[in-house]
Amino acid sequence: MTPRTQLLEAAAAEFALRGFDGATFAGIASRLGKGRSYIQHYARTKEDLARQVMTDGDFVAALAGMTGGIRQLRRACETVAARYAGDASARAALRLHTERPDLNPENNPLASWTSSLEQLLSEALEDGNLPSGTDVAVLSQHLVAGILGYGALCESSGILHEMPSKVNRFVTDLLGAYAS
């Protein structure tokens, strides 16, 4: 693992746990067993380091251009949940985008995630897997909000490893509610 990768992993863990305001170079350096100057070799400011973590932790890029309707929608939700549960860089990136969208305004993962889900829901609607008149924009927002909620709940309860199965059940239940 390269020194830069080690730094980004330590920074991601710190940002995921403490958020932008709570994370410090000292805390990140402590995770690495290094001094602050080591970090400043790679990032002059906390904002610069946060931008690097936000880029490194982008977990919705894999969803861009995904097609396949309802089946792929379930897979997309599971993919995001699994990445969130298993990767501190994904959790950090999402938290940083939520707390400090000004640091990377051209790359908003929530907007691209919602857009990707909306595309899959539109296909599901065209395929007849959702009732006519379903507002796919609202449903995609419900999915994103629910998955984020499960992420926060699982993380605060110490059961992050259960997030993918809980999200799978949530998606099934929500789509079932729309279908009935």
Q: How far apart are CA 153 and CA 94, in angstroms?
A: 15
Domain count for the chain, please give it: 2
Q: Categorize the per-residue pLDDT at 154 as very low, low, confident or very high, splitting at 50, 70 and 90.
A: very high
Q: Categorize the per-residue pLDDT at 153 as very low, low, confident or very high, splitting at 50, 70 and 90.
A: very high
Residue 79, Cβ density class (10 Å: 0-12 exposed, 13-18 middle, ≥19 buried):
middle
Asked if 25 and 79 sit in the same domain, the reply is no
Q: How far apart are CA 17 and CA 10, in angstroms?
A: 11
SS (H, E, C) 101-149: HHHCCCCCHHHHHHHHHHHHHHHHHHCCCCCCCCCHHHHHHHHHHHHHH
Asked if 73 and 160 sit in the same domain, the reply is yes
Q: Which amino acid is at 112?
A: S
Asked if 52 and 69 sit in the same domain, the reply is no
pLDDT digits (tens, 9 = 90+) for 108-143: 788 888 988 999 999 999 999 999 999 999 999 999
Domain span at residue 138 reads 61-179
Asked if 52 and 117 sit in the same domain, the reply is no
Asked if 80 and 141 sit in the same domain, the reply is yes
Asked if 26 and 96 sit in the same domain, the reply is no
Asked if 156 and 78 sit in the same domain, the reply is yes
118-122 LR contacts (CB < 8 Å, sep 24+): 119/66, 119/67, 120/66, 120/67, 120/68, 120/69, 120/70, 120/72, 120/73, 120/76, 121/73
Asked if 97 and 10 sit in the same domain, the reply is no
Asked if 78 and 131 sit in the same domain, the reply is yes
Asked if 101 and 126 sit in the same domain, the reply is yes
Asked if 31 and 74 sit in the same domain, the reply is no
The answer to whether 42 and 50 are in contact (CB under 8 A) is no
Asked if 51 and 70 sit in the same domain, the reply is no
pTM for this entry: 0.84
CATH code for the domain of 44: 1.10.10.60
